Each structure stands twice: as structure tokens, then as C-alpha cells.
Chains A and B, each alone.
Chain A
Amino acid sequence: GAVVSQHPSRVICKSGTSVKIECRSLDFQATTMFWYRQFPKKSLMLMATSNEGSKATYEQGVEKDKFLINHASLTLSTLTVTSAHPEDSSFYICSARELGNTGELFFGEGSRLTVL
């Protein structure tokens, strides 16, 4: 199956700094990617829908100025956590849908962010 890769897999940063997480579709093109947040032993919460060439669509309650999403190409979406706080520490997961395909979604391996 298709592969979605996230980088970095783990990142530790200090409060107040910004962190960028990349999500790449390695062998297919994705007009749409989705960013989720997963709390320990809890469900995945959809944060935003990343659309290639246009602004991301954020879910209710997600601060768009804090979680900046950019989908600059058909294979790359980035999530930047700005002015990170310890409460932003979490597991961030992206998924991607193949171009023109309403079939399977493919998930990245996730990125664990720890803010000190």
C-alpha cells in the first residue's frame, strides 16, 4: 500500500519555541491531508484538513494561529506548532487521501512532541 511518512518522529523543544512537523506522501499524490492529535490512551481528534494550494480548514476549538498548516505541494503538508506550551505535548498524526480517490486513507507513523 501507499506510504505516508512523518518527520520528525520525536521532538523535544522548550516553551515558547516553534516546531515544524512534516507529512509526506511518498508514492502517491494527495490533494488532501488530515492532521490529528492523539492524547495518551485516548482517541484521535481531528485538528484540521490540509488542502493543497489553499488554506487549511480547522475544526472547532483548534487555534489556527497556533497550529499553522501549509500544504505547498501534492506530497507535503506541514504542521507548525507556534509558541509551544507544555500542554501542546502530544502525539500528532497525519493521514493522506490519494488524488481523486475516495478509497483508503493512509496514516503516518506519528510525531511525538514534548514541550519542556
Chain B
Amino acid sequence: AQRVTQPEKLLSVFKGAPVELKCNYSYSGSPELFWYVQYSRQRLQLLLRHISRESIKGFTADLNKGETSFHLKKPFAQEEDSAMYYCALNAGGTSYGKLTFGQGTILTVHP
């Protein structure tokens, strides 16, 4: 069975500081990893997919299969980045869309 772990429930940084939200996963196959963000009073929305290898809103995430990690990083945090962030894993194949979510990390960026 797959598992996603986000070790930090809360993360606080100051504006302009680098930020890293940790995500580790456990899955025997070849996973697809995602980062979702939920701003206050808004719905969950996709931030990044590992297969896209793109940068969204300054965030990047690299899949490290050796360390089974998919940490989310941004070099200079902004106040508008304050939100709940979820790392999620999709087992793929016919199960595509059945996401296993981590516990979530609440990021607060202070002015």
C-alpha cells in the first residue's frame, strides 16, 4: 500500500526567506507525485506534478527516488504563499486519480 508523509504540520518563515516543505512517500511501483495547495476558504488546486518538471509560482519539486522524497521548494517566500500544502501520490494505471494524500503542512509567511 502507498503512503505519503509530510513531517511538518506547521511551517513558518519570513517573507523573502527560502522555504522547503518536506514530503516522503512509500510505494513499491513507479509513483506519480503531486503538490496541491489550498488557500484560505478556497478549493484544493494543483500546484505541481513531478512529470511536468515545471515551476509554478516560483515553486519547484524534484522527485528523488533514492530518498523517496518529493520536497517542495521556493527560494523566496511571499506572504501570498501562506496556505495549506498537500503532497499526494497516484499509483497510476487504472487507478489514476485515486490519490493518497499526506497530512498537509500549513505554511505561514510573515511580513
Of residues 39 to 57 in A, which have CB atoms within 8 Å of B's CB atoms? 41-46, 49
**Residues in B65-111 with C-beta less than 8 Å from chain A:** 86, 96-104, 106
**Interface check B44, CB cutoff 8 A:** yes
Is B45 in the interface zone, CB < 8 Å from A? yes
Whether A97 contacts B96 by the Cβ 8 Å rule is: yes
**CB under 8 Å from chain B, chain A span 90-111:** 93, 95, 97, 102, 104-105, 107-110
Question: Known: A43-B86, A105-B46, A107-B43. Contact between A97 and B104, CB under 8 A?
Answer: no
Q: Is the CB of B44 within 8 A of A49?
A: no
Number of A-B contacts (CB under 8 A): 46
Of the residues A43, A93, A97, contact of B97 by C-beta under 8 Å: A97
Q: Which residues of A contact B104 (CB under 8 A)?
A: 41-43
Q: Chain B residues with Cβ under 8 A from A44's Cβ?
A: 44, 86, 99, 101
Interface membership of chain A positions 3-41, coded 1 if the CB is closer than 8 angstroms to chain B and 0 otherwise: 000000000000000000000000000001010100001
CB interface residues, A 66-116, toward B, < 8 Å = 93, 95, 97, 102, 104-105, 107-110
Given A43-B86, A44-B86, A102-B96, decide whether A93 and B44 contact each other with a Cβ distance below 8 A: yes
- State how many angstroms separate the Cβ of A66 from the closest Cβ of chain B: 20
